[in-house]
A and B are shown apart, each in its own frame.
Chain A
């Protein structure tokens, strides 16, 4: 990976009361050397790697289980990906899918923080052949 530039995507869990506008303003106030782009799911932060990681750590301290992040390969506003310039956005379907799942992960992280143990799940067993045969023959 390139050593100088890092673009990071910050996504707010649907279970949070934080808004993308608040998040973007907060990141902007942390460091003047990063570029912040507000998006519908959170924001994009771009700048020198060290500074971006520092901002991520500070956001994680403030909202440990509500804001999730990953790096983004393309720079913010890149014409190959930016919708404003009619770029394709093939990863958006996945982001949307993961966004729906974030509130569950948030719940899981909160349970781990409280020191809760795993839940015993009932394993679905296969239908025995005898029972399946009875079901098939029930209305004969």
Chain B
């Protein structure tokens, strides 16, 4: 099954989803699609005006362009997803490398899709990490 991961570029979630036999939907795949295109329309990242228009499907025109840009990449992945794992309060999803508004929109879009979603807390201790792995394993094995 196709499982959307949030944060969409998380190494740990990507690895766990693959390890337990599913296909992770990550932002790396969406970016690679743009990079591997032979025609480079908008160097260096090849983000075109079409992407901006795509973003409008997921967020209104009054929403900041950064949020719309992110959703132009992640929105189609959410549409494609059959399940999702969300890591709540991941420190790297906050601040200059993340975007809290986009996180909220992603959670809303996933809820609206009505697919099975697992919310896990970012683990700070060994015991929390153990619970996190057990939860992820049970969820992913249950999807089969």
A interface residue numbers (CB < 8 A to B): 1-2, 5, 9, 11, 60, 68-75, 78, 80, 90-91, 93-95, 97-98, 101-102, 104-105, 107-109, 111-112, 116-119, 121
Query: Contacts A1-B29, A73-B28; is A11 near B127 (CB within 8 Å)?
Result: no
A interface SS class: mixed
Residue of A nearest to B18 (CB): A69
CA distance A80 to B133 in the complex (A): 35
Q: Which of B5-13, B59-67, B103-111 contacts A (4 or more CB under 8 A)?
A: B5-13
Query: Contacts A70-B26, A111-B133; is A91 near B9 (CB within 8 Å)?
Result: yes
Query: Contacts A73-B31, A74-B35, A94-B97; is A9 near B11 (CB within 8 Å)?
Result: yes
Closest Cβ of chain B: how far from A101's Cβ, in Å?
7
Most B CB atoms within 10 A — which of A73, A109, A112?
A: A73
Residue of B nearest to A75 (CB): B35
With a CB–CB cut-off of 8 A, which chain B residues contact A74? 31-32, 35
Quick check: A108 and B97 within 8 Å, CB to CB? no
With a CB–CB cut-off of 8 A, which chain B residues contact A107? 126, 129-130
Quick check: A70 and B28 within 8 Å, CB to CB? yes
CA distance A1 to B127 in the complex (A): 36
Quick check: A104 and B32 within 8 Å, CB to CB? no
Closest Cβ of chain B: how far from A103's Cβ, in Å?
9
Closest Cβ of chain A: how far from B80's Cβ, in Å?
12
Closest Cβ of chain A: how far from B16's Cβ, in Å?
8
Residue of B nearest to A5 (CB): B36
Contact of B123 with A by CB under 8 A: yes
Quick check: A2 and B33 within 8 Å, CB to CB? yes
Quick check: A111 and B130 within 8 Å, CB to CB? yes
